[in-house]
Structure 1
């Protein structure tokens, strides 16, 4: 049953694929411009925060093991069929180093406001050019997204 679900999920992802023209194998397309100017038509878009309600996510220097455990369970259920915990691409990009490359607000906004971020964020659009599959909205609650963020921090070595 799990294999059938995985095959069905992959078929849905492929069907939702936004074909790209020229892709950049290094994943750097448009990143230098993204830091300098807002995305077209967005006015006040902040590429460090993304688009969504999270403007100031408080995180501790120390890992919250309970949150990370809940996040790991959620990730196993909703994310790991497309993302590896290493830097290796599966369907979507690998997760290694994601919390070192992006601010917590950006990560939380992407997890909870996926469609808008795909449409507006140059970093996400560059990843889409490489992965060729649009990330589906997983309908995560704010708490679920925060738990997954803590799991991502654990994956990146926060203790």
Structure 2
């Protein structure tokens, strides 16, 4: 049984790493075409929010148990083969305290816009130097990422 779990985990990891580049639904990379330039001031990076569409993620003072339950199931499938729920590093960093270290917007942007965050965020780049493995894009929907965020809050003790 352990052997089967290991094989499935490796298959998921390899398939997540297989896609190179960061393309959207139209097949473009999100980078300007040759000769195109971005307007001045439009390429600023906010290290508190990260890189992505999430600018204001509302989380309550109390945990949403239904969302956290869904998030746990998704994390079991896509995340736990590389991350522990403690502060111990496995392949990637441990998850303990992540919601205390980062704003919800940063976490959501990292889960849904992984490649851009790895390329731009100094904290992610520092962690990459420690872990030495680039997190694969898990192609999470916004709803899946929000559910995982709620599971991370549960893991960090939000009741």
Give the match's secondary structure for 2:143: helix
CA contact (8 A) 1:96 1:155 kept: yes
Which runs of no fewer than 5 residues in structure 1 stay unpaired? 17-40
1:4 to 7, 11, 19: 7
Aligned residues: 135
- Residue number in structure 2 paired with 1:114: 114
Find the aligned partners of 1:10 and 1:145 in 2 and give their Cα distance: 18
- Residue number in structure 1 paired with 2:26: none
- Residue number in structure 1 paired with 2:59: 59
Shift in Å, 1:6? 2.3
Root-mean-square deviation (CA, aligned residues, Å) is: 2.1
- When normalised by structure 1's length, the TM-score is 0.79
Which deviations, in whole Å up to 9, do the C-alpha atoms of 1:97-149 show, x marking residues without a partner? 00000000000000000000000100100000000000000000000000000
Find the aligned partners of 2:8 and 2:129 in 1 and give their Cα distance: 26
Find the aligned partners of 2:14 and 2:140 in 1 and give their Cα distance: 22
Which structure would you say has the larger Rg? 2
- When normalised by structure 2's length, the TM-score is 0.79
Shift in Å, 1:44? 1.4
CA contact (8 A) 1:14 1:133 kept: no
Once the two structures are overlaid, the 10-residue window that deviates more, 79-88 or 43-52, is 43-52
CA contact (8 A) 1:6 1:81 kept: yes
Which runs of no fewer than 5 residues in structure 2 stay unpaired? 20-40
Bigger RCO (CA 8 Å, 6+ sep): 1
- Residue number in structure 2 paired with 1:100: 100
Find the aligned partners of 1:14 and 1:118 in 2 and give their Cα distance: 14
- Residue number in structure 1 paired with 2:156: 156
Shift in Å, 1:8? 3.8
Change in 2 beyond 3 A, CA 1:10/1:78: closer
Kindly indicate whether residue 127 of structure 2 is the aligned counterpart of residue 127 of structure 1.
yes
